[in-house]
Amino acid sequence: MTHRIGVYPGTFDPITLGHMDIIRRGAKLVDMLVIGVTTNAAKSPMFSDDERIAMVEREVASIGDATIRVVGFNSLLMDFAESVGASTVIRGIRGVTDFEYEYQLTGMNRQLNNRVETVFLMADVALQPIASRLVKEIALYGGEIGKFVTPPIRDEVVARVAEKKG
Report the catalytic residues: 19, 43, 94, 132
Contacting residues for 77 by C-beta, under 8 A, at least 6 apart: 7, 9, 36, 38, 89, 109
Lay out the sheet containing 88-93: strands in order across: 68-73, 32-38, 5-10, 88-93, 117-122
Partner residues linked to 122 by β-bridges = 93
* Strand ranges in 46-116 using DSSP code E only, listed in sequence order: 68-73, 88-93
